[in-house]
Amino acid sequence: AQKITQTQPGMFVQEKEAVTLDCTYDTSDPSYGLFWYKQPSSGEMIFLIYQGSYDQQNATEGRYSLNFQKARKSANLVISASQLGDSAMYFCASLDDSWGKLQFGAGTQVVVTP
């Protein structure tokens, strides 16, 4: 089974700055998918971005980009030009089987300050 590690329990970032959230994974399966979700204080889980293990390009979605380094088994999320509304818990997750068993990391709490 895949293991996801998010080493940053929490971080502060100033508005308009970029922030990188770390995520490493551990799998021997050549085919896997990596996901990032945002959980604001209201509690819902919002899908942000996806990276497939065979994708050649790093995924981007608006201000979100995924820095995928396959050899290092890392899939860091970069949020550019942080906004106050980006304050939330961010989860890295992975799928490495055909059953859809999404494995989550422990999450990183981001606080954006004015």
* Residue numbers at the binding site for another protein (CB under 8 A): 31-33, 35, 37, 39, 43-47, 50, 52, 89, 91, 93, 95, 97-102, 104, 106-107
What residues have CB less than 8 Å from 69, skipping those under 6 apart? Answer: 75, 76
State the minimum distance, in angstroms, from the CB of residue 86 to another protein.
Answer: 17
Phi/psi-derived region of residue 53, left when phi > 0, alpha when psi is between -120 and 50, beta in every other case: alpha
C-alpha–C-alpha distance, residues 79 and 97, integer Å: 28
Q: In this complex, which beta carbon is closest to another protein, that of residue 17 or of residue 26?
A: 26
Nearer to another protein, 45 or 81 (CB): 45
State which residue, 72 or 98, has the beta carbon closest to another protein: 98
Which tokens go with 7? 């080493």
